[in-house]
């Protein structure tokens, strides 16, 4: 379904009016119909935490009243049960499947591709009693943890989510399973590095940009040698920037290798961080990792005529947008925070706040306020939070909900954007002028 006002209004009514009945039945949430209804629990709690991430019981009860349920705080407290957690997990899973098709924006550089996809994940620590549902890594990672993997489509601000056990490795995320559409650009960090997957994507007409692993090998002049060793040789020969197509790895994957020598202060900072991580493991850093600290290295299959080496750097920096997405979920949406101490309330809050995050993304898509030049998603999401109560009141009437979304769209269009910066250009500035990329 297209991300139009009517499309999102329909999605909202599906999530809050239709799906809760099915989710409640499957979770055996309401065995006897009393005051609470699936709709009231879903709409009341999700929208309450959307507007008040650190909501008190009176604030939660106010939204429940808006949804047609008037109860005392103790009655609500008793509702935070495993069944309610199961209900919200089912509802979230079904809502995630209701993907909206982004409306691509006209953005310099990015519009050369059919889509621009960025993957990343964030991990939320949970009470140890939930380890049977969401097992963590143990040790410092905790016995129980929930990993939220996201695929952000930058052209239209589309979003796909996957809930995974905290112990699951990033490259195993289900979001990486489907092959992206031909002509799309995928931008991932080292945590998702997998040469066989990159080869499959290239064969399907998908473009990609990734940082290079310190362990990757290249073939140069018929010789098979580690990339870090080749870069070391180039540095000793006085080379400050390298750009050439080389066969990479055992698959001889044809990659455009772009390597730029780092300033001494950048190399020193990278080495310091590397030593700190190595000390925690109780072993010295490897020669390969130390050598790579002196270079910023990208592997890509995007030809020079489509992206210059500076434009590759600018495009890769946009990967930070998914990090900012997680930051907004936590700072604005209160994800991972709770006033409660009950284990089940904590996990209910996580699921409900993720639903709220998905809702905010839909609203940004429907109002045409995707990731456009100069916009401030932080400011716009803050505006959306202020409209949560109005959304709760309009949910029951489709025409009223569409009118409300139209009014919200107008407010968002007039929301102040990101200020231009002279010293550290914002992402939209580097898209306008790739030479103003801060790379030197």
Pick the last residue of a domain from 263, 290, 307. 307
* Mean predicted lDDT score pLDDT of the chain: 89
**385 lies in the same domain as 303:** no
Pick the last residue of a domain from 307, 340, 363. 307
| pLDDT confidence of residue 280 | 83
Q: How far apart are CA 196 and CA 174, in angstroms?
A: 16
34 has pLDDT over 80: no
Q: How far apart are CA 208 and CA 176, in angstroms?
A: 13
Q: Centre a 10 Å sphere on the Cβ of residue 322 and count the other Cβ atoms it contains.
A: 23
Model confidence over 308-356: pLDDT tens digits? 999 999 999 989 989 999 999 999 999 988 888 888 899 999 999 999 9
**In a domain? residue 82:** yes
Minimum mean pLDDT among 68-77, 139-148, 184-193, 430-439: which range? Answer: 430-439
Name the pLDDT band for 103 (thresholds 50, 70, 90).
low
**In a domain? residue 393:** yes
Please, what's the b/e burial string for 196-218 (b: 16 or more CB within 10 A of its CB; e: otherwise)? ebbbebeeeebbbbbbbbbebbb
| pLDDT confidence of residue 397 | 94
| pLDDT confidence of residue 3 | 66
CB 205 within 8 A of CB 183: yes
CA dist 211 to 1, 173, 215, 413, Å? 34, 19, 12, 36
| pLDDT confidence of residue 301 | 97
- Between β-strands 217-220 and 223-226, what pairing exists: parallel, antiparallel or unpaired? antiparallel
**In a domain? residue 93:** yes
110 has pLDDT over 60: yes
Closest of 172, 243, 247, 163 to residue 202, by C-alpha = 247
Count the domains in the chain.
2
Q: Which of 31-40, 97-106, 155-164, 185-194 has the highest mean pLDDT?
A: 185-194
Name the pLDDT band for 33 (thresholds 50, 70, 90).
low
| pLDDT confidence of residue 417 | 83
**21 lies in the same domain as 67:** yes
Model confidence over 367-392: pLDDT tens digits? 655 556 678 889 999 999 999 999 99
198 has pLDDT over 80: yes
Q: How far apart are CA 298 and CA 313, in angstroms?
A: 8
Model confidence over 249-308: pLDDT tens digits? 987 899 999 999 999 999 999 999 999 988 888 888 889 999 999 999 999 999 999 999
User: Is residue 390 classed exposed, middle or buried when 0-12, 13-18 and 19+ CB atoms within 10 A define those classes?
Assistant: middle
Q: Which residues pair with 119 in a beta bridge?
A: 151
| pLDDT confidence of residue 102 | 66
| pLDDT confidence of residue 438 | 57
| pLDDT confidence of residue 123 | 94
**In a domain? residue 437:** no
Q: How far apart are CA 125 and CA 106, in angstroms?
A: 39
Q: How far apart are CA 60 and CA 205, in angstroms?
A: 49
**24 lies in the same domain as 75:** yes
Taking the whole predicted model, whether its pTM rises above 0.75 is answered as yes
Q: How far apart are CA 352 and CA 358, in angstroms?
A: 10
**In a domain? residue 424:** no
- Structural domain including 290 reads 211-307
**In a domain? residue 142:** no
Q: How far apart are CA 402 and CA 314, in angstroms?
A: 37
User: Is residue 316 classed exposed, middle or buried when 0-12, 13-18 and 19+ CB atoms within 10 A define those classes?
Assistant: buried
| pLDDT confidence of residue 366 | 72
**339 lies in the same domain as 405:** yes
The 3-state secondary structure of 253-269, one letter per residue: EEEEEEEEECCHHHHHH
**226 lies in the same domain as 303:** yes
Q: Centre a 10 Å sphere on the Cβ of residue 273 and count the other Cβ atoms it contains.
A: 12
- Dihedral of alpha carbons 363, 365, 369, 372, sign: positive
Name the pLDDT band for 17 (thresholds 50, 70, 90).
very high
Q: What is the mean pLDDT of residues 97-125?
A: 84
**295 lies in the same domain as 357:** no
């Amino acid at each position: 379904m297209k991300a139009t006002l009517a499309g999102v209004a329909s999605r909202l009514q599906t999530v809050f009016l239709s799906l809760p009945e099915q989710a409640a039945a499957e979770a055996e949430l309401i065995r006897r119909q009393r005051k609470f209804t699936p709709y009231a629990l879903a709409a009341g709690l999700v929208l309450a935490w959307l507007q008040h991430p650190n909501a008190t019981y009176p604030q939660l009860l106010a939204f429940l009243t808006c949804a047609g349920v008037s109860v005392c705080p103790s009655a609500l407290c008793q509702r935070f049960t495993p069944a309610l957690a199961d209900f919200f997990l089912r509802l979230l899973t079904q809502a995630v499947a209701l993907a909206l098709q982004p409306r691509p924006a006209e953005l310099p550089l990015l519009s050369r591709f059919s889509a621009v996809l960025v993957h990343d994940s964030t991990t939320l620590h949970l009470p140890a009693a939930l380890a049977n549902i969401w097992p963590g890594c143990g040790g410092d990672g905790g016995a129980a943890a929930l990993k939220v993997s996201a695929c952000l489509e930058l052209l239209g601000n589309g979003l796909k989510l996957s809930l995974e056990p905290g112990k699951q490795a990033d490259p195993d995320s289900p979001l990486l399973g489907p092959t992206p559409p031909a002509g799309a650009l995928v931008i991932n960090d080292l945590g998702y590095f997998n040469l066989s997957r990159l080869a499959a994507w290239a064969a399907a007409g998908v473009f990609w940009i990734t940082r290079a692993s310190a362990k990757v090998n290249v073939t140069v002049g018929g010789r098979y040698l580690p990339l870090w060793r080749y870069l070391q040789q180039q540095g000793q020969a006085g080379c400050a920037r390298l750009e050439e197509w080389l066969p990479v790895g055992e698959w001889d994957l044809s990659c455009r290798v772009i390597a730029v020598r780092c300033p001494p202060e950048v190399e020193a900072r990278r080495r310091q961080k590397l030593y700190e991580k190595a000390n925690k493991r109780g072993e010295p850093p490897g020669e390969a990792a130390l050598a790579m600290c002196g270079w910023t290295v990208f592997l890509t299959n995007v030809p020079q005529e489509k992206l210059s080496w500076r434009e590759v750097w600018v495009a890769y920096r946009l990967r930070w947008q998914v990090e900012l997405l997680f930051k907004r979920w936590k700072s604005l949406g209160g994800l991972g925070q709770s006033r409660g101490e009950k284990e089940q309330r904590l996990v209910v809050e996580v699921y409900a706040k993720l639903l709220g995050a998905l809702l905010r993304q839909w609203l940004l898509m429907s109002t045409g306020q995707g990731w456009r030049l100069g916009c401030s998603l932080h400011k716009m999401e803050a505006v959306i939070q202020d409209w949560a109560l109005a959304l709760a009141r309009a949910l029951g009437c489709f025409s009223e909900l569409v009118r409300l979304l139209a009014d919200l769209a107008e407010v968002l269009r007039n929301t102040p954007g990101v200020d231009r910066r002279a010293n550290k250009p914002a992402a939209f500035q580097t898209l306008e002028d790739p030479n103003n990329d801060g790379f030197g």
